[in-house]
Amino acid sequence: METLHFEREYALLKADISKMLSFVSKSFESSIDSLEFLDVNLANKVIEDDDAIDLLNREIEEKIYEIIARYNPKAKDLRYVITMIKFSNNLERIADLSCNIAEKVLDVTKKGIKYRIIKEIKEMFGVALKMLHDTFLAFSTKDVKLLKKIWERDKELDRIEIEIREKSKLEEKDIMITNILIARDLERIGDHLNNLCEEIVYIETGKELKELDI
């Protein structure tokens, strides 16, 4: 009976994580839309909605502590529950980085900077968003091969960030700084997702992700 209760609580916890992923994905997409169209209202909404994500993160943490105290899970079950905390925390940080992007929209519009989003920023966003969705899919299905692919995709973010730094040298100072800071935020989102991939792979295989030959 305890096992059935634990599995039910674990399923509900995954549903909460899925809900948070939906919130964070929407925040991330909205931050890029606000940047592309210099939409101040949308940027402000991204920042305002971050409170709900922070609250959900705290609720997930509390539920996890309750599950550990009530069911005392062992071995892999315990590691997976602990990873839920890390998943939630990393999602919350991704939402914070989305707010960073939204705040840059407010900054450039306030200063009257003639900013236009470049294709490399859009490309980074597309890669990061795909990594975000694939990471949750791999976590849900325990797909180690997919996790390795996501981990390798982070190199693409690093490559594009370098391209943006080089290209931005030709822009005005304010635009150059904005592009570089946004690219850094997007690269850091990739880092948070990589952290999760490494955690899940270690749980499933007992190996470091870079050691996997798949």
Average pLDDT over residues 126-148: 89
Tens-place pLDDT, residues 2-46? 788 888 998 899 899 889 988 999 999 999 999 999 999 999 999
Task: Select from 3.30.360.10, 1.20.1050.10, 1.10.357.10, 1.20.58.220 the CATH code of 2-208.
Answer: 1.20.58.220
What is the model's pTM? 0.90
* Average pLDDT score over the chain: 91
Of the candidate ranges 23-27, 95-99, 198-202, the one whose mean pLDDT is the lowest: 198-202
Residue 76 has pLDDT above 90, yes or no: no
Residue 193 has pLDDT above 60, yes or no: yes
Average pLDDT over residues 142-150: 90
- Cα angle 34, 169, 125; round to 5: 35
Q: Residue 42 CA to chain centroid, in angstroms?
A: 19
Residue 140 has pLDDT above 90, yes or no: no
* pLDDT for the residue numbered 200: 83
How far apart CA 22 and CA 17 sit, in angstroms, is 9
Residue 213 has pLDDT above 80, yes or no: no
Tens-place pLDDT, residues 151-181? 989 999 999 999 999 988 888 999 999 999 9
* pLDDT for the residue numbered 28: 95
142 dihedral zone (left: phi>0; alpha: psi -120 to 50; beta): left
* pLDDT for the residue numbered 1: 46
What lies within 8 Å, CB to CB, of 200 at 6+ separation is 83, 138, 139, 142, 144, 147
* pLDDT for the residue numbered 182: 96
Average pLDDT over residues 192-201: 87
- With pLDDT > 70 as the criterion, what percentage of the chain qualifies? 99
